[in-house]
Amino acid sequence: MSSIIAVGNLEKHFKVYRHHRGFWGALRNLATRQYALVRAVDGISFEIQPGELVGYLGPNGAGKSTTIKMLTGILVPTSGQIDVAGLVPFKNRKENARRIGVVFGQRTQLWWDLPVVESFQLLRRIYRVPLDRYRGNIEMFDDLLIIAFDYCL
């Protein structure tokens, strides 16, 4: 069985520039650019087979979000290979985005100043989810979570 996601020796490095404070520091910043190289992702490799359910865990700063951003095509890797369902994410970002979904824990997909139903309906339109599929999803979540979603239909 071939992998749905294959990552080989993936790395992502960021240049973090040092900023000197004050007037003289600002002039120094213009004259010399000093930076440190931060290795956010350092040579990881893994494969995920179709149908597998996985979790990606690690301490803060371990590179989890950076890796996910590279899998979605938001970031370009410094080196290594990524294949997501036959696509190289940063080269085929739009097509890749149509096929996958990502939820980051710190951010919500709901807008606090909108009722839940309007947030769901707005997301349905943004992601062009057909009405029958949207209704089916709402009914499935209603069954799973035992929440009255009737007003979302």
- Start-to-end C-alpha separation, the chain: 39
**For the residues 97-111, what does the mean pLDDT come to?**
69
pLDDT, tens only, 113-131:
777 778 888 888 888 899 9
CATH architecture of the domain covering 1-101: 3-Layer(aba) Sandwich (3.40)
When the pLDDT of each residue in the chain is averaged and rounded to a whole number, the result is 84
Show me where the domains of the chain are located: 1-101, 108-153
pLDDT, tens only, 26-51:
777 777 777 889 999 999 999 999 98
| Residues contacting residue 5 through CB under 8 Å, at least 6 positions apart | 46, 47, 48, 71, 82, 83, 84, 85
The verdict on pTM exceeding 0.85 is: no
- Percent pLDDT > 70 in the chain is 88
Q: Which residue has the tokens 């990552």?
A: 7
